[in-house]
Amino acid sequence: MLNSISSTVSLHNGIDMPWLGLGVYKTEDGKQVIDAVKAAIRAGYRSIDTAAIYKNEEGVGQAIKQSEIPREQLFITSKVWNSDQGFESTLRAFEESLARLNLDYLDLYLIHWPVEGKYKETWRALEQLYKDGKVRAIGVSNFHVHHLQDLLTEAEIKPMVNQVEFHPKLLQEELRNFCRDHQIQFEAWSPLMHGKLLDNELLTEIANKHNKTVAQVILRWDLQSGVVTIPKSTKEHRIIENASIFDFELTNEEMRTINDLNEDLRFGPDPDNFDF
């Protein structure tokens, strides 16, 4: 059911993950991230997505403490950065993230990018953390089908989530189908394509019909497509607006119209060709 901000999807290990979360990419540590996370929690968000490379885990942790929401009601995600990949180094990086967040466990820990020659060892470390009860779910980010196929040849535990670039210009249908067939939950980063879709005429037309913004229409389309989404904002009014997507529904025709905007257009780096 997609009728409230507390709506969740059940991952393949039975853990419930909120459909909507707050992303904090490029949100400054300190006051900016603390204010954003606290605003999101006040607005009903329970999922916060950070990463070691965002360099704002401390602020996220402070906001969690200040919010006074019971820890078990929150869903906190972080990610291991590329330079920390490998077995022992990932275990260390996880403990460092946990310490910065000032938490006892994470809800989801992801491999940030598929670093060639390293991601299998990194995955082995995530499996260890999962078995040790330090993280409730494990997954990957920016993995193509071939990365997942390669990982699954040796993985004891299959990823619960794959977080990738996804928006109306980049549908990634083959990857979504693969993830669905393997019970790997698909999650969108950059769902609004860094604001580059907000003046699209077709989307504006649909938004006007529902008395909603284009951003709200795109985020609703994500959810109705079965995709978990984590829009990033630092402004409280925008954080609240992004969450106001549970009181309307797109028709099948509107969903098709939005799907037809696909151009396989990648805004971020290609997981087959990155140098960081």
Catalytic residue IDs:
54
Three-class secondary structure of residue 180 per DSSP: helix
Angle between helices 236-243 and 214-224 (to 10 degrees): 40
Contact present, 148 and 180 (Cβ < 8 Å): no
Smallest CA-to-CA distance from 118 within 96, 89, 92 is with: 89
Helices (H), the chain: 31-42, 57-67, 87-101, 119-131, 145-152, 173-181, 201-210, 214-224, 236-243, 252-259
Q: How far is CA 168 from CA 27, 47, 58, 86, 181, in A?
A: 24, 23, 33, 34, 22
Tokens of 135: 């993280």
Residue for token pair 């696909």: 262
